[in-house]
């Protein structure tokens, strides 16, 4: 009886894993080529970036408010605590941390800091001091993480706008790329490099994205066909046919097997990350969250 229950549980867990993996793989197989194809069109990419910038701006504003609140609470708690208080050494650590944070970014100005219902209850014991320090550090990290993501998104949107303007004014500029972020290149090779950059940014990049999307779409279709025809005796798997064609050439066999497996792996984890936070876990310079870092490393 016990063996039957264990076997049934193992069968259920394996079935759940296979079904979940199939759904994740199926989503990635269709979503990755579709996104690459859509992003090749500037109008669509511009809409996506505009929406993302607006979303990031709201997130950054909320993070700024939380950071300002944390600073105001820390400063008020420090002001009301006497120098002879037994918790003063803990408060000094928080004050030093806050001073260092403000020195690192002199341009930051706390604004609109508000007190919550229990914001003045941090001076009761050492645990409340630890909570105050943790809250301040978390608000600091959230603000600068949001700021970094916002600036990255804004820069991408501005570069795309640069590309669109250069393409529209290609006749006037002589097919030379004029960037808003740097001066025109000088010297003998300057005009040539500007022309090469124009050809890459305004013409080749878009076409290569479309070609890459078509290739990935064909790979997705080949994988789905191979999965759907496992039972029939006729071999309709493109990758199986390729492996048979290359024969005993071991390197080509490894490549023919590695490419589809890696693509399936990427598709599955792409779906998993999208479901995890409805966005990619991201590496943010100096402000990567511990959850994102652990998920990326795992």
pLDDT given at position 278: 43
Evaluate whether 33 touches 263 at the Cβ level (below 8 Å).
no
Sign of CA dihedral 6, 7, 12, 16: positive
Tokens of 20: 């979940």
Tokens of 227: 């999965």
Q: Which of 269, 56, 291, 251 is nearest to 157 (CA)?
A: 56
Evaluate whether 157 touches 57 at the Cβ level (below 8 Å).
no
Evaluate whether 148 touches 285 at the Cβ level (below 8 Å).
yes
Q: pTM of whole model > 0.85?
A: no
Q: Which of 89, 113, 90, 109 is nearest to 101 (CA)?
A: 109
Tokens of 235: 């071999």
Residues in the chain: 298
Dist CA 118 CA 77 (whole Å): 12
Dist CA 2 CA 14 (whole Å): 18
Tokens of 284: 């943010």
Identify the residue whose tokens are 């994988």.
Answer: 223
Residue ranges of alpha helices (H) inside the chain are 2-39, 42-80, 88-104, 126-168, 170-173, 190-199, 205-228, 238-246, 250-277, 290-297
CA distances from 145 to 54, 138, 280, 282 (A): 16, 10, 14, 10
Evaluate whether 140 touches 104 at the Cβ level (below 8 Å).
no
Residues in CB range of 165: below 8 A, 6 or more apart: none
Q: Which of 152, 151, 132 is nearest to 140 (CA)?
A: 132
Evaluate whether 28 touches 270 at the Cβ level (below 8 Å).
yes
Q: What is the mean pLDDT for each group of 10 consecutive residues in the chain (298 residues)?
A: 71 80 87 93 93 93 90 85 83 90 85 60 73 89 89 92 92 87 83 90 93 94 84 76 81 86 90 63 62 58
Evaluate whether 183 touches 3 at the Cβ level (below 8 Å).
no
Tokens of 166: 């250069």
Dist CA 215 CA 90 (whole Å): 60
Residue 49 CA from chain centroid, whole number: 13
Dist CA 49 CA 153 (whole Å): 7
């Amino acid at each position: 009886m016990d063996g039957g229950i264990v076997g049934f549980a193992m069968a259920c867990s394996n079935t759940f894993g296979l079904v979940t993996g199939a759904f994740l793989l199926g989503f990635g197989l269709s979503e990755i080529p579709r996104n690459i194809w859509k992003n090749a069109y500037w109008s669509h990419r511009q809409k996506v970036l505009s929406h993302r910038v607006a979303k990031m701006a709201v997130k950054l504003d909320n993070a700024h408010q939380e950071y300002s609140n944390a600073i105001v609470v820390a400063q008020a708690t420090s002001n009301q605590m006497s120098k002879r208080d037994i918790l003063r050494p803990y408060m000094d650590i928080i004050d030093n941390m806050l001073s260092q944070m403000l020195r690192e970014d002199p341009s930051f100005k706390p604004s609109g800091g508000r007190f919550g219902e229990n914001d003045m209850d941090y001076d009761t014991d050492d645990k409340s001091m630890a909570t105050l320090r943790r809250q301040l550090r978390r608000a600091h990290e959230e603000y600068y993480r949001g700021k970094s993501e916002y600036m990255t998104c804004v820069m991408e949107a501005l570069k795309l706008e640069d590309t669109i303007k250069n393409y529209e004014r290609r006749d006037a500029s002589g097919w030379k790329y004029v960037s808003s972020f740097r001066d025109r290149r000088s010297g003998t090779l300057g005009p040539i490099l500007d022309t090469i950059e124009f050809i890459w940014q305004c013409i080749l990049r878009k076409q290569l994205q479309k070609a890459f999307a078509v290739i990935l779409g064909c790979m997705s279709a080949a994988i789905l066909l191979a999965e759907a025809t496992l039972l029939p005796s006729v071999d309709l798997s493109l990758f199986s046919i390729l492996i048979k064609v290359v024969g005993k050439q071991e390197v080509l066999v490894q490549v023919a097997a590695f490419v589809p497996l890696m693509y399936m792996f990427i598709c599955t984890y792409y779906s998993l990350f999208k479901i995890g936070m409805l966005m990619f876990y991201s590496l943010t310079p100096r402000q990567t969250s511990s959850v994102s870092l652990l998920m990326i490393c795992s």
